[in-house]
Amino acid sequence: MPIQWFKVWVDGWLDGTIRLELNEAERGIFIDLLAMAARSRLVGIVCAGENYPYPHEVLAKRLGIEINLFNDTLKKLETQQRITEDQKGIHISNWEDYQSPQSVDKSDQTFEEYVEELRGEFKDIGDYDDQFKKFNLYWGEGKKKLKRPKLAWRNWLVNARKYKEEKNGKGRQNNRGIAEQYETPEEYLERYKKSTSNTSIK
């Protein structure tokens, strides 16, 4: 049954990696897909009905955008594992985990629990535990303190994935022009530290 509203994690939307991975137009398309998936007969899937996916041209026209922009954005969203697409339609990844009325409020989730939760999502980066050791070593030196450890850890993993793709010749240009090349996790955290150096960290 269609639902009238859907959830958006405010910190993740405003400060998360989506700001680095998608430009303004692409973020607009993604949020529209979320709304369409919420209103769908098969909640969580953008489709006209069971086993009736919308043609891309129809969706692009409905959103008022060029078909090339729509197709390119879908490819990027699928690469980032935000969506999948098959003969049923466009599936929003992890819809049940984050959007169902029965989904659990994770506001009290510990950092350690969050680290374990992301293990499956980032299994493609290689040695997950080794990345966590590097993360702890980086932030354990000196007087550096994390204001948002969960967000910093996710960003670290995203940059580890980008760095691996870059080494394998699969890197994609950052759409927001923040950097001409992808950063290593260590380089990202160095930039993160500088960006918060004038901010009160608790």
Q: What is the pLDDT along the chain (202 residues), one digit of tens a residue?
A: 788 888 888 888 888 888 889 999 999 999 999 999 999 999 999 999 988 999 999 999 999 999 999 999 999 999 998 999 999 999 999 888 777 655 555 667 788 888 888 888 888 888 999 999 998 888 887 777 777 888 889 889 988 888 888 877 754 444 333 333 445 556 656 665 665 554 443 3
CA 171 to chain CA centroid, nearest Å: 16
CA 139 to chain CA centroid, nearest Å: 23
pTM: 0.56
Domain boundaries, the chain: 10-99, 111-195
**3-state DSSP assignment of residue 83:** strand
- 10-99 has CATH 1.10.10.10 classification: yes
